[in-house]
């Protein structure tokens, strides 16, 4: 059998890279040496380091994003886009691709558009509940649009939409079996209610300010304990702040290496609502208070959170109100096991564990038809 030749394109953030990697891993599991995979990313972005480290080939395009403020860098953008399209066409031709699958990020648009202009089949994986402008345009010619939320026919042709969920690396389904190990790992008390505060690997100013506001109250009352990921950007500042305060019942770190343990011990999660995080939490089913970032395109984090809130699968607090409101809301939730059970049940109903394999199914079917 002739090997499948698949280009996967996405990057700029882990939220675009790791879903693509999850699909690459699913392709390898299913086809072994009968599939060849090439990643296409953006020069200078994190995928150019992360993807080769995982053993995959990657080609970088010189594309860059539009700066929101007036800057001379925007003047170079048309040239970079043109060069990216030309390099994408050459890459597709030299690799002999059967299909291109886009996961979002700077590089996704030129390679998907080039493939469509060359008559190659394309698939788009739309991670959010509110589609971005680029995906809406490219979706007109895509053979399939793989989605994680209902009602996406607002943005794409209904006959091309397939519910796959967002692909994730690793398994989260068995985290509760790790609860005892998790408490030992973080050095916390297994008899106390635990709140996980996580704002992404770089960190979130709002959630860190929230912890600064409440840390003395938490350690003084001793009624709950917290796992607090500060993010790399803020860790030194938070360490300096905490140097004169009690840390009783608080684990603090720039990054949580064992997220499975953190999820295992958490009774309530406080988090941003990026697409990948929401998908992880749906698989785990932990009662969650989302604090959507207001600094993302089309305010899609708020829309992601509300898609769960409307199904009574999560709670949310506006970023502007989070410093004062989230910890009291977490305490209310910890005191209401019935409410937590409802949130857990409804959230798990939205989880899709085999998302990467569903996308592979669509790749196989689409290649077979073109």
Instruction: Check whether residue 196 and residue 118 sit in a common domain.
Output: no
One domain for residues 59 and 74: yes
Tell me, what DSSP letter sits at residue 203? -
299 and 203 within one domain: yes
Q: In this structure, what CATH number is given to the domain that contains residue 182?
A: 3.40.50.2000
Average pLDDT for 121-147 = 94
Q: Both 146 and 280 in a single domain?
A: no
Which of 25-34, 45-54, 66-75 shows the lowest per-residue confidence on average (mean pLDDT)?
66-75
- Asked whether residue 90 falls in the same domain as residue 180, the answer is no
Q: Are residues 77 and 13 in the same domain?
A: yes
User: Are 116 and 217 in the same domain?
Assistant: no
Among the listed residues 82, 84, 7, 71, the one whose alpha carbon sits nearest the alpha carbon of residue 45 = 84
**Residue with the two structure tokens 């003084």:** 220
Distance in angstroms (rounded) separating the CA atoms of residues 184 and 188: 7
**54 and 133 share one domain:** yes
pLDDT of residue 78: 75
190 and 314 belong to one structural domain: yes
Query: What's the rounded mean pLDDT across residues 341-361?
Result: 96
The boundaries of the domain holding residue 275 are: 175-348
Same domain, yes or no: 164 and 195: no
Instruction: Clarify whether residues 78 and 179 are in a common domain.
Output: no
Reported in sequence order, the residue ranges of the chain that DSSP labels E, i.e. its strands, are 4-9, 35-42, 57-61, 99-102, 122-126, 144-147, 161-163, 194-198, 225-229, 250-253, 268-271, 288-290, 315-316
Domain count, the chain: 2
Of 59-68, 156-165, 202-211, 313-322, which gets the smallest average pLDDT? 59-68
Asked if 135 and 243 sit in the same domain, the reply is no
H-state helical runs in 285-336: 300-309, 322-334
pLDDT tens digits, residue range 186-204?
999 999 999 999 987 778 9
CB contact at 8 A, 323 and 296: no
Whole-structure pTM value: 0.86
């Amino acid at each position: 059998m002739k090997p499948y030749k698949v280009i996967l394109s996405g990057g700029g953030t882990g939220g675009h890279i790791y879903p693509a990697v999850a699909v690459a891993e699913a392709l390898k599991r299913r086809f072994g040496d009968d599939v060849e995979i090439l990643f296409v990313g953006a020069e200078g972005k994190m995928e150019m380091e992360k993807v080769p480290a995982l053993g995959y080939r990657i080609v970088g395009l010189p594309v860059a994003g539009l700066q929101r403020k007036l800057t001379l860098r925007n003047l170079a953008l048309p040239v970079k886009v043109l060069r990216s399209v030309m390099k994408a066409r050459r890459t597709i031709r030299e690799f002999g691709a059967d299909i291109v699958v886009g996961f979002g990020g700077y590089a996704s648009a030129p390679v998907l558009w080039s493939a469509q202009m060359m008559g190659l089949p394309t698939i788009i994986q739309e991670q959010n509940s509110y589609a971005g402008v680029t995906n809406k345009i490219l979706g007109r010619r895509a053979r399939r649009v793989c989605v994680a939320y209902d009602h996406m026919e607002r943005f794409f042709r209904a006959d091309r939409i397939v519910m796959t969920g967002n692909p994730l690396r690793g398994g989260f389904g068995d985290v509760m079996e790790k609860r005892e190990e998790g408490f030992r790992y973080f050095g916390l008390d297994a008899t106390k209610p635990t709140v996980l505060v996580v704002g992404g690997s770089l960190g979130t100013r709002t959630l860190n300010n929230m912890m600064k506001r409440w840390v003395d109250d938490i350690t003084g009352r001793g009624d709950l304990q917290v796992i607090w990921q500060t993010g790399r950007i803020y860790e030194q500042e938070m360490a300096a702040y905490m140097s004169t305060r009690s840390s009783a019942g608080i684990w603090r770190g720039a990054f949580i290496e064992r997220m499975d343990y953190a999820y295992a011990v958490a009774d309530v999660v406080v988090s941003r609502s990026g697409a990948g995080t929401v998908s992880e939490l749906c698989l785990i089913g932990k009662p969650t208070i989302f604090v959507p970032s207001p600094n993302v395109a089309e305010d899609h984090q708020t829309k992601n959170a509300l898609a769960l809130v409307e199904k009574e699968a999560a709670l949310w607090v506006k970023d502007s109100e989070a410093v004062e409101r989230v910890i009291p809301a977490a305490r209310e939730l910890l005191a209401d096991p019935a409410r937590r059970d409802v949130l857990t049940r409804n959230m798990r109903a939205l989880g899709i564990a085999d998302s990467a394999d569903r996308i592979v199914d669509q790749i196989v079917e689409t290649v077979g038809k073109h």
